[in-house]
Chain A
Amino acid sequence: MAALSEVEGHDSSEVKLSMNPILGVKNLTKKFGGFTAADDISFNLFEGEILGLLGPNGAGKTTIIQMLLGVMEPTAGVIQYFGKNFKKYREEILKQVNYSSTYISLPWLFTVAESLEFFARLYEVDDRKKKITKLVAEFEIENLYHKQYYMLSAGEKTRVLLAKAFLNYPKIILLDEPTASLDVEIAVKVREFLKKEKSQYNVSMLFTSHNMAEVEEMCDRVIILKSGKIIAEDKPENLAKKITACQVELVITDDAQKAESFLTAKKVPFEKDRFRFIVSLEEKNIADFLVLLTAEKIAYEEISINKPDLEDYFLKMIELKT
């Protein structure tokens, strides 16, 4: 695994986790004819780490997850779990891996109890009754236990899928939008559960989500994909820091015309919506800017300063980088 820990783009010094790459992906490529869905993807997932996989639709997230699950064959590249080649040790590896996705389903006519029983048997879970009871309580699906899958709401289905994903005490779990379609309260509980699994059992997770706040909260590290390629990889807070400009939002009513002339003259980038000005400034220049406004006798009624976050970085990356 020495070679895989040196995979391009991964700054191992940044990750304060166990240094054992539990999943190593090197030069993973998937081509469909002339179209490249995943292009030379390399990354590591470490023990106890939550790694976010972000990208717009069509970026290659699902393709990568399918290859990591063994339900799609890569055109090129190597996948190693626990230091073992996935292709060679598929059966042994998949006993310790599981996944959940909003885009899949469980057998339509099965009750929740039957689905969990079936998958527990498929994964040969020894204490399956105990494990099922525990997960059913964790995901608050006791009242759904004897309901058929097709009768559940989208949020209920997501919870059942998550319970299925934790049946086999996985060491690695791949979560494709795990909290999509959950209401806020349940989503919070699910995130707490995932954090607990990580801290108590050192479970590693590969996590995709369109909710950037959730990714910032959950992920130790983030990979951003665009057109099948990795375009950025770092801790969420480090990625956000790469955007230095803050958004200063001012409400100026009496001196709006004056403020507009001033900003234009000073060549400060801004957006204006009637009396609301959004000015982009480096954090260190905000104090000087406000002093200048006061000196120009431009009064503002409201002010708010928005620091850049992962979403700003993500939007910038997917718009600008090709």
Chain B
Amino acid sequence: MINVNRVKAMLLRYAYNMRHSFDRLTDMFYWPAMDLLIWGLTGFYFIKSSAEFSSLLFVILSGLIFWLVVWRTQYEITTNMLSEIWDKNIVNIFASPLKISEWIAAFMVFGITKMFISLTFSSILAFVLFKLNVFLYGFYLIPLIVNLILTGWAAGFFVAGFLVRFGNTIQTLAWAGVYLIAPFSAIFYPITILPTWAQKISQFVPSSYVFEGIREILFTGHLSTDKIIASLALNLIYLILSICFFTFMFHKSRKLGLGRLIQ
């Protein structure tokens, strides 16, 4: 059973952290804004160069905005996990009645909250600057975003498993780890342009179905449910496996002593 009060306490802990950290506060807005500006203007330039590229701007902007969902949800898991090591606080929280399931729940809720703030900000900016209305995806937005959240969580817990076992010596994984799946997610391009071996890998990357789906909606106005179901099935399998992996690595780490992570 998850104790809601302790989950709320952990949410408060990460909210306080965000309040005091300029990095954590601004990264919700600064990087999405920069990405949108640079890639939006690049797309704009292509459109002006040739009519062939007329849909390119929305493809790029949609890719940027929706990739943010994956990035943000995984990043909040890995960096909040690392913050317990950086703050030498991991022993304090696990010398309390906090359970690992409550820690996991707090990561998920906090990640979703920050992701929605970031997503809302980016969507408004994309509309104001480039007239991209994310609501053009209609009700498809729900399965698309849900799937991307699941992908982000799965990637986050997988990376966090390594972090909780090996500590901050491999902390780069916290922000770089998820980019391993980015080329296979086909965020800005169709899967067909990938080499055959990479296409085969893409079949096992749930976000690839979502980004293919986004382009399908942009070009046809429809989304085939096969893509959503395939993505959802893979996501659920990966999420369960990643949480099991994280829990397993946490117990391996506890076997050696969590205190060693903060020495």
Contacts and interface: CB of A to CB of B under 8 A. Distances in A.
Given A121-B8, A123-B96, A104 B258 contact: no
B interface secondary structure, majority: helix
20 contacts: A62-B259, A63-B257, A66-B257, A69-B94, A71-B95, A72-B257, A91-B97, A97-B95, A104-B89, A106-B89, A107-B16, A108-B86, A108-B87, A110-B16, A118-B16, A122-B96, A122-B98, A124-B5, A124-B97, A164-B92
Contacts of A69: 91, 94-95
B88 interface: yes
B12 interface: yes
Nearest to B98: A122
Contact of A95 (B90, B97, B99, B254): B97
Interface residues of A, number: 35
B194 interface: no
Interface of A: 32, 62-63, 66, 69-73, 90-92, 94-95, 97-99, 103-110, 114, 117-119, 121-124, 148, 164
B13 interface: yes
A99 B95 contact: yes
Contacts, number: 99
B262 interface: yes
B237 interface: no
A103 B13 CA distance: 21
A73 B98 CA distance: 16
B167 to A, nearest CB: 14
A72 B98 contact: no
B17 interface: yes
A92 B99 CA distance: 11
A105 B259 CA distance: 11
Contacts of A119: 92, 96
The 4 A-B residue pairs whose C-beta atoms are closest, nearest first, are: A109-B20, A121-B9, A72-B257, A105-B88
